[in-house]
Amino acid sequence: MQGFGPRALTPGDGWDWLVQAWQLMWRRPLLFVAVALFAPTGSALLLALPIWEWWLPTGSGWLLLVVTLFCYGLPLSLTVTLACALARAANRKRAPAFKQLFNRTAAKALARTSLFLFLLLLQGYLLAYWMQSQLISPDITGGSRSLSGSFGVADTILGTQLSVLGSVLLVLQMLLAVFVIPLQLFRELPLSVCWRSSALAMQLNPWLLPMFGLVGLVLLILPFFQPFSIPAQVLALPLPAYLGVLLYVAWNDLFQGGAEEERLEIDDQYQATVPGGSVSRQSGVR
């Protein structure tokens, strides 16, 4: 399928994306609830591994930061990527969403895209931690520090998840890599091509930069304000899955002209009206 984008849109279209993302999630609410639970559950399981009790007491502050990002960032990255993939599967209405992901090619694309997102998050946090160590000169020996006292980490799993999600948005925005995730996931293009296409989409739609930047900054700092701690816990659960769905909706509009679902419906009508339509579809005749 050939794409239409990237193309220039208006902030009004961005508001439509927010609405369409919620509508798409409501098509399969139980499915996306299960996806939303993956991030905190995965973080809790990783934090419970006994290996951290052996490494962290003797590790440095840098090791503490990497372990924290691994436990929180990796499940979060996989949640965002999985929600993005499931959003497309649910929007197609061709088969139950999970059945479209039970194949080797889809699993490889999910793993590769999630790892890419996690590495972007890791490099962003390491750069911020290095800058903090240069400007403030904190004690990074980390001899008696705990996970809850490390750089950029809130006091709870959901609070930290929300802060890490804000960091993801800031890193993607600064690197103009917001649409690399759906491009890698759905088109499997070379990374350099995905990055150039994403940067071009952001250049054509500069209103996306303050939107992602402000939202990312708010999510990053919200868990550290005590009056907002409870709302932060509530927001932390659905937002990673919602962000994944939103990325699909935005990609579909910017790069596909919003015509993917329409094309599938036309194909279904053609198959129903033309004898032997399924055979012609398999042979690539449109």
Q: What is the pLDDT along the chain (286 residues), one digit of tens a residue?
A: 455 568 888 899 989 999 999 999 998 889 899 999 999 999 889 888 888 777 665 656 677 778 888 888 999 999 999 999 889 888 876 555 455 566 777 788 888 999 999 999 888 878 777 776 666 554 444 444 443 344 445 667 888 888 888 888 888 888 889 999 999 988 888 888 999 999 999 999 999 988 888 888 888 888 777 777 778 878 888 999 999 999 999 999 999 887 665 444 444 444 444 444 433 333 333 3
Model pLDDT, residue 213: 86
Domain-embedded: residue 38: yes
Model pLDDT, residue 93: 62
Q: What is the domain count for the chain?
A: 1
CA angle, residues 210, 165, 204, in degrees to nearest 5: 30
Distance from C-alpha of 236 to C-alpha of 234, rounded to nearest angstrom? 6
Contacts of 276 (CB under 8 A, 6+ apart): none
Domain-embedded: residue 169: yes
Q: What is the pTM of this model?
A: 0.78
Domain-embedded: residue 171: yes
Domain-embedded: residue 27: yes
Model pLDDT, residue 171: 87
Distance from C-alpha of 270 to C-alpha of 286, rounded to nearest angstrom? 9
Which helix (DSSP H) or strand (DSSP E) does residue 156 occupy? none
Answer whether 250's CB lies under 8 Å from 20's CB.
Answer: no
Domain-embedded: residue 2: no
Distance from C-alpha of 135 to C-alpha of 128, rounded to nearest angstrom? 11
Cα 40 from chain centroid?
Answer: 15
Domain-embedded: residue 243: yes
Model pLDDT, residue 36: 92
CB atoms near residue 218 (< 10 Å): 14
Answer whether 15's CB lies under 8 Å from 51's CB.
Answer: no
Model pLDDT, residue 154: 60
Residue 276: domain span: 11-282
* SS3 label, residue 133: helix
- The alpha helices in the chain, defined as continuous H runs, are 11-27, 29-47, 51-55, 61-92, 104-135, 157-174, 180-186, 191-204, 208-221, 229-236, 239-256, 260-273, 277-282
Domain-embedded: residue 235: yes
Domain-embedded: residue 87: yes
Distance from C-alpha of 92 to C-alpha of 279, rounded to nearest angstrom? 20
